[in-house]
Structure 1
Amino acid sequence: MNDAPLGLLFAVLAALILMSGFFSSSETGMMSLNRYRLKHLRKQHHKGAMRASKLLERPDRLIGLILIGNNLVNIAASAIATVIAIRLYGDAGIVIATILLTLVILIFAEVTPKTIAALYPEKIAFPASVVLLPLMRLLIPLVAIVNWVTNGLLRLLGINTNEAGEERVSREELRTIVSDPDAMIPQRHRGMLVNILDLEGVTVDDIMVPRNEFYGIDLDESDECILETIHRSSHTLLPVWREDSNNIEGVLHLRNVSRVVDRDGLSRSGLIAALDKPYFIPESTPLHTQLRNFQQKKFRLALVVDEYGDVIGLVAVADILEEIVGEFTSNLSDSSDEIYPQRDGSYVFDGGASVRDINKALKWELPTDGPKTLSGLVLEYLESFPDGNAGLRISNYCFEILELEGNVVRAVKGRPSE
């Protein structure tokens, strides 16, 4: 080597620095690959992804291979650089070679290639796998020996190399990924995916229609009143009860109305015969579970009961679907008869408005772990029944009671606190 022409030595040194850059960029590119995108590309039989996946099956061996190659070329580059420097500058060349080679390797073989690989991992890793895969087969004995020694040292330090399993994403992590505005998911689809993830944390009593707001048929009413109820119904499924809405007789599907009404008017016997069996569910049932139950049992309406077996509300398939896709109308003033925007930026709420509906409609963050309605929330914070209009602050929102009827808050004015 001492007799080799300087031109040849410089050429070999440049080649070694390029090889060092290759190994450095390969390491960063391989480790920066998105594992889920890699699975997707592998299912599409992408050749680069298939090669990279095979290498990443044993990341310890891949890192071992890359570091063996990187260290070999760096040491060889150091030796050649030292020879060149000594021939040019004598003994002082050793110091010069050390300083210059460190800078060259740092810039051209470490920082620059690794930065490029971190920014474009697929463009670096997939072509690099063409070289790394056969190189792994060639150097597998040496790589296996190195890994055996290093794994033994790790075990002595109390580190179990077998504990590192497949990368998994929790529900909250998946929510963060989906919510990321940089994700290539349309805004509407992103909202639907987040809502699906939220179903597990919401129970049927959060979205049910309370019993005092039931729209249905009372068999104790006159035939004319029952016919008027059927005529005015905007629902296709009506609960039917006797004496009290806690005594549900069944559910009437309006597709069977021809069996209920004849030439003489209402047929009570036909009405009873047309009723479907009521379907009761516990109030604590998570929405994702109830949606699956609706699908399996072929029901579209369920009656919610408390721990004592009393009916406290009802929930329909459409209610759960709206939790996923949102309201079927987006205009606040048209879609809600419980929230009334005011010119001063405040809102007047119906006391029976759902706290969750208010949060969703206005992007507020009122507490949802207590009462389900705004009336109940206000009374809980007051800890008493007010004698008249009263003001209070809940979280970051100010409220004023506008109308009180008995022990129920009928109207509330609210706005975010400044």
Structure 2
Amino acid sequence: MLRRLDLRPTASNGDPLPRPATLRGMMPRAEMDVDGAIDAVRPLVEAVAEHGAEAALDATERFDKVRPETVRVPAAALADALRDLDPGVREALETSIERARTVHEEQRRPDVVTQVVPGGTVTERFVPVRRVGLYAPGGLAVYPSSVIMNVVPAQAAGVESLVVASPPQAEFGGRPHPTILAAAALLGVDEVWAVGGAQCVALLAHGGTDTDGAELEPVDMVTGPGNIYVTAAKRMLRGVVGIDAEAGTTEIAILADDTADPAHVAADLISQAEHDPNAASVLVTTSEQLVEAVEAELTSRVAATKHTERVRTALSGPQSGVILVGSVDDGIAVVDAYAAEHLEIQTRDAAADAARVRNAGAIFVGAYAPVSLGDYCAGSNHVLPTGGCARHSGGLSTATFLRGVHVVDYSEQALRDVAGQVVTLADAEDLPAHGEAVSARFEEARS
């Protein structure tokens, strides 16, 4: 079922692994043509920019086969969804919220005051974004967990105005799934928009007037995962609004040796594959025996799982596979090159091996930290970089919603002491007026 790439050294080929850039080109990876998607969504985004909610609702009717009466979900619908929520689901959501708050509130940054010289300080203030739009996707699954993963860090950062947006569902009268509404209500969010896709990103960015005449205030930042059209709209509108990242297809990599339990490995590969037919599940291992055992487990488990065809398509696609390596050291080099959204370490010395990994959205250590734990109740965030972006980007956190602002406070003497150097550097850059802005403060005629 899984394609194989053998990177083990042989007697005739004892060369080390290729360099990281070459390795990246060899990795299984889902293709994602965001530029092509931009061409498709450009007319829609431009229509929403010009016509606001009506254009967004037109697109919603075309793509989601339903037209909500209003974009904003009535407050009563949120209260009803929470009242009707299954008690077991409510308890699980409350556990997820509590653990996420524990982690994300610790990420709040204190202001840092540095005295550079006597009379001269630079303070870095961490200021929250004022208003954010938080996207919870629909599609093949329901994601109240994504509501939690977006809202909790924004609240921990001190964001004062939040709107959760999620695609409307025809079976629920043109409103988002009730579990999405209930999760928002549990979190104290009272503004939810029934809109999804590229039209959602455009409406969040530009705002408009709802069908009942109420204002749909634009946001300063949009966060949350979505399909390729959501990603394309985020790329188009970056600059009009801030964005967290360009989310791609979800992925898991598992670094395992001969101590890994094949049932655990197979179950974890399947758990990621059930998200989407294009989801990536990659096993990097030193053990051919483990591969054979995992394949046997997959044969029985894929047939028994609910979303069999979706899982089978994902596991057999070019984005998934097995990479055989000669050592755990080589395996670490491979997973660093791959830079997975989710990386599990199931090796003999998992904690030490995990500490050596540089590139991953989130790392799950040992047999009892599966990705599913991080999806829901670890306390970590599951909105993570995909497509190799973990080489340079991190996941969603409280810091995502904070801006570092430098506050410069110098006394007259502190400025006088460095005035000559400022003038010298200004002249060196052929910007004499910069220097004059300092020297003017000390001209004798002004004394």
Name the structure with the higher helix share: 1
For the aligned pair, the TM-score class normalised by the smaller chain equals under 0.3
The higher relative CO (CA closer than 8 Å, separation ≥ 6) is in 2
After TM superposition, the score normalised by the length of structure 1 is: 0.21
Structure showing greater radius of gyration is: 1
After TM superposition, the score normalised by the length of structure 2 is: 0.20
